[in-house]
Amino acid sequence: EVQLVQSGGGLVRPGGSLRLSCAASEFSLTDHYIDWARQAPGKGLEWVGRSRNKDNSYSTEYAATLIGRFTMSRDESKNSVFLQMNGLRTDDTAVYYCARLLFGEYVDVWGEGTTVIVSP
Amino acid sequence: QMTQSPSSLSASVGDRVTITCRASQGINSWLAWYQHKPGKAPMSLIYAAFNLQSGVPSRFSGTGFGTDFTLTITGLQPEDSATYYCQQYHTFPLSFGGGTKVEI
């Protein structure tokens, strides 16, 4: 079954770091763009960023407020995408989702989400 | 920026429900709709404004172009209770609407 398996969430202090993982099952991530989105408690969905596919050099885009703190990367050997989050703030508390794009355009598969709690 | 309305609605099984989404600038047909239930991953319903994702029931439909879009559920079912989001993927940063909570 085609799916995205997420891990890496947890509790972290303000100013700390966390790396989220998004592993692909039954397909190769090298062919696909991956988006990240998040949902803070009681809030709506918020777009976090995009990692393009290998043909596009794994180039990235980020939400303006996250530039400099969040970085996406890939490991082909693990068929995984990572979201490195540094300088975490309490308002980064959210469920984080990764999602696969078809044809580099629209999402067709979502990961199950991983919870990040930033608290003193 | 994407503006959704209403923010919530209550309807009965079998009703026809319409959710609207307005973009602050033209986005052609680069719009998707998602269904999100608490504790679950979002589910993709529609892409490119009106194309149904594989496996999505035909009671869901989308229309629109440019700045004004709609999601319609014809024949509401109990399992349709969820929050629905539109998202533009025309221009970075991508953006979601604020969501519409549908209660049965």
- Give the percent of chain A with pLDDT over 90: 97
pLDDT at A104: 85
* Chain A residues near residue B87 by CB distance under 8 angstroms: 45, 47
What letters, b where the CB count within 10 A reaches 16 and e where it falls short, cover A3-36? bbebebbeebeeeeebebbbbbeeeebeebbbbb
- Report the candidate in B89, B38, B26, B59 with the shortest Cα–Cα distance to residue A42: B38
Ramachandran quadrant class, B55 (left: phi over 0; alpha: psi -120 to 50; beta: rest): left
User: How many Cβ pairs closer than 8 A exist between chain A and B?
Assistant: 59
- Cis peptide bond N-terminal to A120, omega within 30: no
Amino acid at A25: S
Among chain A residues, the shortest Cα distance to B52 is held by A108
Give the separation between CA B56 and CA B48, rounded to whole angstroms: 15
Q: CB–CB of B94 and A113 under 8 A? A: no
How many other CB atoms sit within 10 Å of the CB of residue A76? 11
Touching A: B residues 8-67, CB under 8 Å: 30, 32, 34, 36, 40-44, 47-48, 53-54
Give the separation between CA A27 and CA A40, rounded to whole angstroms: 29
Please tell me which of the candidates A35, A47, A50 has its beta carbon nearest to residue B95.
Answer: A47
Residue-wise pLDDT tens digits, B3-52:
999 999 999 999 999 999 999 999 999 999 999 999 999 999 999 999 99
* Chain B residues near residue A108 by CB distance under 8 angstroms: 44, 47, 53-54
* Chain A residues near residue B48 by CB distance under 8 angstroms: 105-106
Residue-wise pLDDT tens digits, B44-74:
999 999 999 999 999 999 999 999 999 999 9
* Chain B residues near residue A50 by CB distance under 8 angstroms: 92, 94
Concatenated DSSP letters for A41-78?
TTS-EEEEEEE--GGGTT-EEE-GGGBTTEEEEEEGGG
Task: Give Cβ neighbours of residue A70 (< 8 Å, ≥ 6 apart).
Answer: A48, A49, A62, A83, A84, A85, A86
Residue-wise pLDDT tens digits, A42-101:
999 999 999 999 999 999 999 999 999 999 999 999 999 999 999 999 999 999 999 999
Say if A5 is an interface residue toward chain B (CB within 8 Å).
no
Touching B: A residues 39-78, CB under 8 Å: 39, 44-47, 50, 61-64
pLDDT at A89: 97
**Tokens read off for B92:** 């970075």
Give the separation between CA B38 and CA B34, rounded to whole angstroms: 13
